[in-house]
């Protein structure tokens, strides 16, 4: 626990003081904020659409087992193989087995946060398999040997000058290339990898139960190429991504596009319902779908935290969070950053090691305000804090301090004890944790209660 906390505190202090980083993030989030209102105009009743989406996800999660079984039955009939993985190790082992059977040397991978969650690239590298990120942002991050910075825009923290410099160092290009020219360089490299790859890996934005299919939405076409050009297609998706019906996409796709990137709809929206069928000329010969738990059923078991499984990974809460905008995505030290990451990470992993993320919040409620499916994120952050206390995942000294505070707050004489100067000294000298990052606190010499009784002595006689 100490390692995760100390790393977070150190990186937070560094990034909060990095003005260049803040300028880049504010510029990119500013562009996002400028276009989102335009995307929202497509909804005649935006709040009703968000509420309906939340209700659909509520129904899907409350009957998750039924929907997943329906999905498996329907997609299996068309030749896809469904694999259930309880944890990251099982998922990686299954992928390794498939790659070995296909004699895979090169694997192309579309943007997928769940593959980041299980550290797929690192696993494949150890097995001698070249794994290529084909989303431009993810490709940039892979070149720089960094994980994604943001759920939707992986290289948000990099300026165009940073990317031009990176391409010059890694690919030998001219450092003065424009963003358009850099994109064409990446396009030429990746097109060759598509032709070479034996296996393609994608995630899924949604699992469609009633027809047995996965839905993928993107802006570059790399997802379609990754699932169609290689002979083998592997989908890795968290079990919470299920939706009851294909007709629900008419609501979820526009919501995801608007809250994710400010678009009315993304450029490429694909429904994949199995491998190439008899008589078809396009598509993979084999398709595998790995349904990943990896701690999600722990969240499902909690009546309160279950709501966090409604998330459609639009990233809106990250863009709205004042903490995220100051410390950045990598500071969190985990796959999912920002408010949603702070909610789910302590429940997907160990509460004791990751509870500090739920305190990295101003509790302003802006994350809840912008959530596409109206998850009460700030309340869930408080719930995490409560669970950490109940599970005794707090330090002994912290428990003692709060016990003393509770005792004092329940007795008026104790609250009035000590002069204002003494209270100020205790906070500013002994309690340095506050004054380290805040201004000095100066308490009045007399409490409000004492001042009131001096002006209204009759109240004192009544007691």
Q: Cα dist. 292→117, 145, 166, 203, 295 in Å?
A: 10, 25, 34, 11, 9
- Computed over every residue of the chain, the mean pLDDT equals 91
* Band of pLDDT at residue 406, cut at 50, 70 and 90: confident
Give the 3-state secondary structure of residue 231: coil
Q: What angle do CA 62, 64, 65 make, to 5 degrees?
A: 125
Region label for 274, one of left (φ > 0), alpha (ψ between -120 and 50) or beta (otherwise): left
Q: Tell me what pLDDT residue 430 has.
A: 58
Q: Tell me what pLDDT residue 373 has.
A: 98
Q: Tell me what pLDDT residue 451 has.
A: 83
> Do 334 and 7 meet the contact criterion of CB atoms below 8 Å apart?
no
Q: Tell me what pLDDT residue 462 has.
A: 56
Q: pLDDT tens digits for 331-346?
A: 999 999 999 999 999 9
Strand pairing class (286-292; 81-85)? parallel
Out of 11-15, 187-191, 426-430, the most confident range is: 187-191
Q: Tell me what pLDDT residue 370 has.
A: 97
Read off the tokens for 7.
């790393």
Residue ranges of alpha helices (H) inside 349-444 are 351-354, 366-370, 377-390, 396-409, 412-416, 420-425, 432-435
Task: Spell out the residues 6+ positions from residue 371 whose beta carbon is closer than 8 angstroms to its own.
Answer: 50, 259, 316, 317, 377
The span from the CA of 259 to the CA of 316, in Å, is 6
Read off the tokens for 396.
């002994």
Q: Tell me what pLDDT residue 426 has.
A: 65
Give the 3-state secondary structure of residue 254: helix
How many Å separate Cα 195 from the centre of its chain? 32
Sheet holding 242-243, edge to edge: 242-243, 206-208, 213-218, 268-272
* Band of pLDDT at residue 1, cut at 50, 70 and 90: low
Q: Tell me what pLDDT residue 78 has.
A: 95
Q: Which residue has the higher pLDDT, 187 or 417?
A: 187
Strand pairing class (206-208; 213-218)? antiparallel
Q: Which residue has the higher pLDDT, 431 or 64?
A: 64
Q: pLDDT tens digits for 113-140?
A: 999 999 999 999 999 999 999 999 999 9
Give the 3-state secondary structure of residue 131: strand
CA atoms within 13 A on the CB side of 150: 26
Q: Tell me what pLDDT residue 175 has.
A: 94
Q: Is the pLDDT of residue 308 over 80?
A: yes
Q: Tell me what pLDDT residue 418 has.
A: 61
Q: Tell me what pLDDT residue 457 has.
A: 82
How many Å separate Cα 220 from the centre of its chain? 21
Q: Tell me what pLDDT residue 10 has.
A: 92
Q: Which residue has the higher pLDDT, 406 or 286?
A: 286
Q: pLDDT tens digits for 165-177?
A: 999 999 999 999 9
Where do the DSSP E strands lie in 273-394?
A: 286-292
Of the candidates 160, 147, 122, 159, which has an alpha carbon nearest to the alpha carbon of residue 329?
A: 147
Of the candidates 160, 85, 157, which has an alpha carbon nearest to the alpha carbon of residue 337?
A: 157
Give the 3-state secondary structure of residue 234: strand
* Band of pLDDT at residue 65, cut at 50, 70 and 90: very high
Give the 3-state secondary structure of residue 238: strand
CA atoms within 13 A on the CB side of 379: 10
How many Å separate Cα 153 from the centre of its chain? 11
Q: Is the pLDDT of residue 425 over 90?
A: no
Region label for 251, one of left (φ > 0), alpha (ψ between -120 and 50) or beta (otherwise): alpha
Domains of the chain: 42-294 (3.40.50.10420), 399-462 (no CATH)
For 13, phi then psi, to 5°, come to -65, -40
Of the candidates 111, 108, 114, which has an alpha carbon nearest to the alpha carbon of residue 92?
A: 114
């Amino acid at each position: 626990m100490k390692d995760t906390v100390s790393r977070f505190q150190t990186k937070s202090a560094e990034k909060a003081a990095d003005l260049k980083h803040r300028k880049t993030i504010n510029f990119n989030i500013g562009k996002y904020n400028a276009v989102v209102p335009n995307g929202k105009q497509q909804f005649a009743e935006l709040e009703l659409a968000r509420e309906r989406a939340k209700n659909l996800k509520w129904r899907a999660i409350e009957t998750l087992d039924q929907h997943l079984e329906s999905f498996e039955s329907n997609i299996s009939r068309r030749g896809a193989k469904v694999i259930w993985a309880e944890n990251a190790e099982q998922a990686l082992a299954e992928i390794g087995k498939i790659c070995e059977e296909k004699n895979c040397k090169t694997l192309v991978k579309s943007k997928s946060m769940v593959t980041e969650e299980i550290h797929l690239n690192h696993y494949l590298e150890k097995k001698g398999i070249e794994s290529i990120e084909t989303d431009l942002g993810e490709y940039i991050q892979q070149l720089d040997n960094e994980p994604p910075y943001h759920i939707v825009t992986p290289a948000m923290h990099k300026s165009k000058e940073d990317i031009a410099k990176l391409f010059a160092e890694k690919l030998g290009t001219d450092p003065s290339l424009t963003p358009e020219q850099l994109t064409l360089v990446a396009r030429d490299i990746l097109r060759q990898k598509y032709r070479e790859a034996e296996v393609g890996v994608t995630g899924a934005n949604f699992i469609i139960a009633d027809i047995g299919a996965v839905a993928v939405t993107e802006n570059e076409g790399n997802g379609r190429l990754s699932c169609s050009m290689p002979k083998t297609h592997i989908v890795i998706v968290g079990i919470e991504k299920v939706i009851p019906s294909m007709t629900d996409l008419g609501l979820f796709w526009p919501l995801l596009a608007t809250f994710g990137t400010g678009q009315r709809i993304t450029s490429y929206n694909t429904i994949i319902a199995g491998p190439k069928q008899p008589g078809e000329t396009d598509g993979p010969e084999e398709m595998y779908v790995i349904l990943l738990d990896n701690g999600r059923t722990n969240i499902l078991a909690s009546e309160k935290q279950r709501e966090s499984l409604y998330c459609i990974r639009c990233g809106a809460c990250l863009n709205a969070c004042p903490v995220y905008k100051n410390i950045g995505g990598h500071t969190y030290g985990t796959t999912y950053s920002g408010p949603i990451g702070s909610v789910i990470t302590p429940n997907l992993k160990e509460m004791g090691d990751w509870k500090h993320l739920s305190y990295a919040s101003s509790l302003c409620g802006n994350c809840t305000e912008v959530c596409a499916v109206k998850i009460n994120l700030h309340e869930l952050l408080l719930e995490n804090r409560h669970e950490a206390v109940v599970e005794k995942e707090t330090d002994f000294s912290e428990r003692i301090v709060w016990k003393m505070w509770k005792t004092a707050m329940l007795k008026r004489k104790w609250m009035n004890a000590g002069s204002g100067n003494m209270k100020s000294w205790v906070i500013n000298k002994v309690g340095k944790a506050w004054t380290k990052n805040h201004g000095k606190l100066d308490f009045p010499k007399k409490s409000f209660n004492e001042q009131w009784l001096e002006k209204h002595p009759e109240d004192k006689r009544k007691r």
